[in-house]
Amino acid sequence: MEIPARSLRSKIIGLSVALVVVAGTILAWIAVRSSRASLNVVVEQQLSEVAHTAAQRLVETLEVQRNNVRRQARAPVLQLVTEESRSAEISRYLVDIKESEGEFLDLLATNASGTVVGSSDPSSIGKMLVSEKWVKLALAGHRAIAGPYESAKYGGRILYLSAPITGRGGAVVGVHAVVYGWRRASETLESLRQTIVRDIRVDLLVVTELGRVMVALGRDEVRTLLGTDLPLASPTAGDDGTSRPVLPFDVPVLTGSAQLSRFRSRWIVLAMRPTSEALAPLAAMQRQMLGALSAVLLVGICIAWMLSSRMVRPLQELTMATRLLGESGGDAPSVPARTHDEIGQLARAFNQMSGELKRARAELVASAKLAFAGEVAAGIAHEVRNPLSVVRGSAQILRRSVAMGKSGEELVDMIIGEVDRLNRVVGGLVEVAKPRTPEVTAANLGELVRRAKDFLAYRADERDIGIVLDLDEDLPQVRCDSDEIYQVVLNLTLNAIQMVDDGGSIVLRTARSGQGKVLLEVVDDGPGIDEEVAEQVFSPFFTMRGGGTGLGLAMVWRIVELHRGRVWVTSRLGRGSTFRVELPIAGARL
């Protein structure tokens, strides 16, 4: 019988685990998904801010240098570019600026025709630069930034920063230009990257509109992109319509971008971070959620185990009681109903069924006894009554015709008394075993009780026993055979008179019983009946007093049963007994 219990327990635990796992997994998936999307947005916003700051810092650095070039172009000595004889003086001025500021790789000055007339590098003097775009812009009166250009002479990429040189009348008389190392710009971005990122690792790329990588800072695989050309995505891929480079990394990265305004508006600065690093807090949260889910699962299993034990235990008790009920034929211990749920209701229903089966079994046994008594009575009634009549008549004749002493008369009286007793036993057996069919009508139960009380009053008065009536005058009529129910009241009252001591009391009570029935109670203050004995009082031939036949209460049980009623007794030793009879109301549905 353990297999169903284990099966039920395993189903409950499995269902609990499934609920926890499924619900937890769904909630965790939703939380991780939403957190991932939110974290992606936050990280990309942060990276965009880094890219914007880097682009702004780079532009500001170049703008400072361009302003320096413009300021230098206003120096009086540079206005001498119209005089070729002053070339040495102009060159010394440019060398002094180079040595004092240390920001530039080279400085030069041209006249209005684009010929270099002064330079910090003597080899540049005399060169014609009029074809250079930045020279043309400066001669047109504009400040210009050109580049970056690859330069073997300067060992890397360079920028040309230029400004017009104006004479005393305001006319452009030449161009002042500086060679600015692109490495300086990269160092500015690297310093900025180290300052901004601190505990996190961010990579920076500066990419031209053609996909050429001009600056690559960060991890080794990022630095290897310097100078390479990256493929460009469709211009519609960017939020602002700018073409974005396609990054050649094996691992996914999150990016933020910004344009280099006022310098190269179509160049972009990319701030990048590997997705795995950027979403590391999410991974930590996933581990925490997994730990929490495991803890909840463990707690759920423990709770499911306890709940299943509480469910399985009463079911096991119920199964055992059912088995005992089948083996004992109706005599099984009651199952404790510990709860008020469905299992508790099932236990109470089982106990009720068990009690009804036990009562039905007792009634069946009693019926079998009565059937046996009927067969015996039918067999002996004819054979015994006639001889008993002959014996009784002979004893009476003997008493009248033969003179005998006192002892002889007592002997004859004993014979006659025993013959009468045997006649009563045989008559009782026949009456109990083969009762007549009740002639059912509507009857007043109170009137039947009064009639029985009046009939037995003399018997009660002989022993100073008081009989009290407690009748419900509004009691509806009962559906019964008046003569037989009168016999029931008579037998129960007579049984009470025989059981109580002299001077005792008996109460005859009627009341509504509910559910279309009325109740008759016969209450005495006699010695009471033991619980085990009380179960046998309605059995044929069972008696608790000397001289009794044991058929009176058996007849009561049979009559009440034929009326579709119920009779039972409650009693405690030393506290009297109460016999109760329940009968249907006239007109009630049976």
Over residues 10-21, the pLDDT tens digits come to: 777 777 777 777
Here the tokens at position 351 are: 């106990």
pLDDT category of residue 189 using cuts at 50, 70 and 90: confident
Question: Which one has a higher pLDDT value, 305 or 74?
Answer: 74
The predicted pLDDT at position 587 comes to 73
**Span(s) in the chain for CATH 3.30.450.20:** 74-177
Average the pLDDT over each of 310-314, 473-477, 556-560 and give the range with the smallest value. Answer: 310-314
Q: What is the arithmetic mean of pLDDT over 435-452?
A: 84
Q: What is the arithmetic mean of pLDDT over 351-370?
A: 71
pLDDT in tens, 265-292: 578 888 888 877 777 777 777 777 777 7
Evaluate the omega torsion of the peptide bond into residue 314 and state whether it is cis, within 30 degrees of 0: no
Residue 562 has pLDDT above 50, yes or no: yes
Here the tokens at position 64 are: 């400072």
Name the strands in the sheet holding 577-584, side by side, starting at the edge strand that comes first in the sequence: 466-470, 505-512, 517-524, 577-584, 566-571
DSSP 402: S
Residue 519 has pLDDT above 50, yes or no: yes
The predicted pLDDT at position 1 comes to 41
pLDDT in tens, 316-329: 777 777 777 666 66
Question: Which one has a higher pLDDT value, 214 or 312?
Answer: 214
The predicted pLDDT at position 539 comes to 72
Contact predicate 200/209, CB 8 Å: no
CATH of 74-177 given 3.90.330.10, 3.30.450.20, 3.30.1360.20, 3.30.930.10: 3.30.450.20
* The residue type at 121: D
Residue 574 has pLDDT above 70, yes or no: yes
Which of 440, 586, 445, 442 is closest to 516 using CA atoms? 586
The whole-angstrom separation of Cα 586 and Cα 535 is: 30
Residue 199 has pLDDT above 80, yes or no: no
The predicted pLDDT at position 169 comes to 76
pLDDT category of residue 2 using cuts at 50, 70 and 90: very low
pLDDT category of residue 23 using cuts at 50, 70 and 90: confident
Residue the block writes with tokens 């000055």: 109
CA torsion sign for 384, 386, 389, 390 is negative
Which of 64, 75, 69 is closest to 161 using CA atoms? 69
Average the pLDDT over each of 265-274, 411-420, 439-448, 566-575 and give the range with the smallest value. Answer: 411-420
- In this prediction, what percent of the chain has a pLDDT beyond 90? 4
C-alpha torsion angle, residues 580, 494, 499, 570 (rounded to 10): 0
Give the CATH fold of the 186-278 domain. Beta-Lactamase (3.30.450)
Contact predicate 271/48, CB 8 Å: yes
CA torsion sign for 35, 37, 41, 46 is positive
Residues 6 or more apart in contact with residue 205 via CB below 8 angstroms: 213, 215, 216, 217, 222, 225, 245, 269, 270, 272
CATH number of 335-434: 1.10.287
Residue 239 has pLDDT above 60, yes or no: no
Given the DSSP bridges, would you call strands 466-470 and 505-512 parallel, antiparallel or unpaired? parallel
The predicted pLDDT at position 376 comes to 65
The predicted pLDDT at position 11 comes to 72
pLDDT category of residue 5 using cuts at 50, 70 and 90: very low
Given the DSSP bridges, would you call strands 213-217 and 466-470 parallel, antiparallel or unpaired? unpaired
* 508-514-519 Cα angle (round to 5): 15
CA torsion sign for 306, 312, 314, 316 is negative
Please spell the DSSP secondary structure of 96-154, one letter per residue.
Answer: HHHHHH---SEEEEEETTSBEEEESSGGGTT-B-TTSHHHHHHHTT--EEEEEEEETTT
Question: Which one has a higher pLDDT value, 108 or 384?
Answer: 108
Q: What is the arithmetic mean of pLDDT over 335-360?
A: 73
Residue 232 has pLDDT above 60, yes or no: yes
Question: Which one has a higher pLDDT value, 34 or 120?
Answer: 120
Give the CATH fold of the 438-584 domain. Heat Shock Protein 90 (3.30.565)
pLDDT in tens, 387-436: 777 777 777 777 676 666 667 777 777 777 777 767 766 666 666 556 56
Residue the block writes with tokens 């007109």: 587
The whole-angstrom separation of Cα 130 and Cα 586 is: 133
Residue 531 has pLDDT above 70, yes or no: yes
Contact predicate 207/270, CB 8 Å: yes
351 half-sphere exposure, CB direction, 13 A CA radius: 14
- The model carries a pTM of 0.48
pLDDT in tens, 498-513: 888 888 899 999 998 8
The predicted pLDDT at position 190 comes to 79
The whole-angstrom separation of Cα 371 and Cα 378 is: 10
**pLDDT mean across residues, the chain:** 78
3-class DSSP state for residue 308? helix
Residue 3 has pLDDT above 50, yes or no: no
The predicted pLDDT at position 314 comes to 72
